[in-house]
Structure 1
Amino acid sequence: MALDPDLAAFIVDVEARRGRPVWEVSIPEARAQMRALRVDSVRPEDVVQVGAVTDSAVAGLPARLYRPAEADGPVPTVVYFHGGGWFRGDLDTHDQVVRRLVRDTGAVFVSIDYRLAPEHPWPAAAEDAVRVVSWVGDRLAELGGSEVLAVAGDSAGGNLAAIATQALRERVHAQLLVYPATDLLGPHASYDEFATGYLLTAEMTDYISSLYFSGEAPAPEDARHSPLYGDLAGLPPTVVATAEYDVLRDEGEAYAAALSAAGVHVDAVRHPGMIHGFLDQGHVSPAAAAATSDVNRRFARLLASIS
């Protein structure tokens, strides 16, 4: 399918306003670029309404707790990890993404502000993810109330969600991975196919890796950074959503295929015409809004099946 025309126009607009790419600006400027795109552009009347939102702390990290507007009895609790290449993104940049998920699934969500590179290079974020999911799992009765613990994340956050699920497979009941990074050091055809022109470029992913791995040198097939190489047997049912025009497409789909081969129930979907980041592009593209709703419906269906 052709690239969604609304997203094509969005790409042109973002590139024009961004100016220099992230690898040519300071880390604070790069983070400010993302906030300008995802936070400053949100009008008060467009904020998705949920039952309650509370800023708190989870396992020593900043967190935001979202409760659905209505709940008939106990509901699942979902830990959410934001994207941003492990070096930017925060509770605010993904506030709307999580609000939509809360509205569409009826679950309690705990969004986490994990440590970022380069101040805290790998494996800091991965360690945070495991620690946070364990902490939340010990407190389900006071959070969502049901015994269902799930994880979710997009992009770098999808990577962390997958890592935490592998580490805590006996405790996690479901996971949602949206255009996840699953093989950080391996070659995939989509990196060549969509290397430029779709916001997340191959050059940007190389820069991201240089920041994330600026501390300890990683082994090529370490599941603590590339969950594709982990033990996948016995993992919980999973929704994996990818975007057609995305450098991360093939590794996300490879992870879905590997999960399925390991006997895991997988609901995998490639969204045609979409680019990386479509979860937060519905305000410029009705097709992206529809794709986001589809992702949320699939996860809602999965949670309902195990509740």
Structure 2
Amino acid sequence: MAEALANPELRPRLEAFDSYPDATPPPLAATEELTIPGPHGPVPVRIYWPGGTPSEPRQGLVWLHGGAFRFGDLDMQEADWTARNLADRAGAVVVSVDYRLAVEGVTYPIPLDDVVASMHWARQNTADLGISSISLGGASAGANLAAGAALRLRDEDDWKPEHLILVYPSMHVDLPEPSKSLQLALTEMLPAMRLPPEMFHSMRENYLGALISNPPAYAMPGLADLDGLPPTLVLNAEYDDLRASGEAFSASLAAAGVDVEQVLVRGVLHGFLNLSTSFEPVDDAVNRIAGRLRAAGQNP
């Protein structure tokens, strides 16, 4: 770390990664804590209501935090502050889901079942939520769960969210070969800033359990037939080993005929939604997601 702080090129990135959210949260009318029914028991959710009085129904977003499938909760910045910012900037109702983590024997499909149950609940309660459409999104492991849920909803219900939003997603059981651009970016990173292969495998093994050798496509969406998924926004971090997964998944979406927009967020590491929006790349990324939500409901 001392070497990085002494390096004028690396220091701003590390200082930004260690920053905290702005002291004053965005204005909201209210938040509401609920538990909704799920196949493995109740699932806690937090609803973020934007301020103001809408003249027509709002757009909805079901949002999933990351944390390598084993960490994270509704209070982490990637969950709470992202939901607050998106509710404020997009005027959307955001439902943040506290899905079960892969700890103490919990493995696939339990976390994914919680997410699918949350989507069913949101679809059944659009009137109470005051929304006219539902998008689905998440970050890192949450992006994996969002894509897996979209695949299941396509296959089981013949239904798809308005938009799919995937932020630094992790979609493959083995990382794809990095692009030349990513290889160059990775050479600029200190080892402590990288994701070691053994850690990546441990994350997968922890989530998949006995299925690690033959993972279902719903668990690792990089293996899936992606035809019929909704318009998708993919945001990849410039300095992130998992960028290889996001780039490969974006290419697979495009090959399947899905309307996909892939954005490289420059100057940031994996997990940048845990940073303050006073950091311009993070602010731009949040604005891009908010813009996608504002456009929801306009698809033919």
Q: What's the TM-score, normalizing by structure 2?
A: 0.82
Say whether 1:116 aligns with 2:105.
no
Unaligned runs of 5+ in 2: 1-7
**What is the Cα deviation at residue 10 of structure 1?**
4.5
Q: In the superposition, relative to structure 1, how do residues 223 and 86 fare at CA in structure 2: closer, same or farther (>3 Å)? A: same
Q: Contact 1:239/1:298 (CA < 8 Å) preserved in 2?
A: no
Q: In the superposition, relative to structure 1, how do residues 217 and 305 fare at CA in structure 2: closer, same or farther (>3 Å)? A: same
The residue that corresponds to 1:32 in the other structure is none
* Aligned with residue 113 of structure 2, among 109, 127, 132: 127
For residues 170-215 of structure 1, give each alpha carbon's deviation from its aligned partner in whole angstroms, at most 9, with x where no partner exists: 14221111011111234433797468332655443233223223x3
Unaligned runs of 5+ in 1: 15-36
Q: Distance in 1 between matches of 2:46 and 2:14?
A: 33
Amino acid at match of 1:181: S
**What is the Cα deviation at residue 258 of structure 1?**
1.1
Percent of aligned pairs sharing the same letter: 33
Amino acid at match of 1:48: P
Amino acid at match of 1:74: P
* Aligned with residue 205 of structure 2, among 200, 207, 210: 210
The residue that corresponds to 1:267 in the other structure is 261
Q: What's the TM-score, normalizing by structure 1?
A: 0.80
Amino acid at match of 2:200: T
Aligned pair count?
275
* Aligned with residue 299 of structure 1, among 287, 292, 299: 292
- Residue correspondence of structure 1 range 193-204 to structure 2 within 5 A: 193=186, 196-198=191-193, 200-204=195-199
Q: In the superposition, relative to structure 1, how do residues 140 and 3 fare at CA in structure 2: closer, same or farther (>3 Å)? A: farther
Q: In the superposition, relative to structure 1, how do residues 42 and 287 fare at CA in structure 2: closer, same or farther (>3 Å)? A: closer
Q: Distance in 2 between matches of 1:177 and 1:126?
A: 15
* Aligned with residue 274 of structure 2, among 270, 274, 280: 280
Say whether 1:67 aligns with 2:49.
yes
Q: In the superposition, relative to structure 1, how do residues 4 and 174 fare at CA in structure 2: closer, same or farther (>3 Å)? A: farther
Q: Which moved more, 1:194-203 or 1:230-239?
A: 194-203
Q: Distance in 2 between matches of 1:281 and 1:7?
A: 11
Q: Distance in 1 between matches of 2:66 and 2:233?
A: 17
Q: In the superposition, relative to structure 1, how do residues 269 and 197 fare at CA in structure 2: closer, same or farther (>3 Å)? A: same
Q: Distance in 2 between matches of 1:97 and 1:203?
A: 30
Say whether 1:168 aligns with 2:153.
yes
Q: Distance in 1 between matches of 2:10 and 2:32?
A: 36
The residue that corresponds to 1:89 in the other structure is 72
Q: Distance in 2 between matches of 1:81 and 1:227?
A: 16
* Aligned with residue 152 of structure 1, among 117, 134, 137: 137
Q: Which moved more, 1:129-138 or 1:149-158?
A: 129-138
Q: In the superposition, relative to structure 1, how do residues 248 and 298 fare at CA in structure 2: closer, same or farther (>3 Å)? A: farther
RMSD after superposition: 2.6
Q: Contact 1:237/1:264 (CA < 8 Å) preserved in 2?
A: yes
Q: Distance in 1 between matches of 2:215 and 2:71?
A: 25
Q: Distance in 1 between matches of 2:15 and 2:30?
A: 35
The residue that corresponds to 1:23 in the other structure is none
Q: In the superposition, relative to structure 1, how do residues 195 and 220 fare at CA in structure 2: closer, same or farther (>3 Å)? A: farther
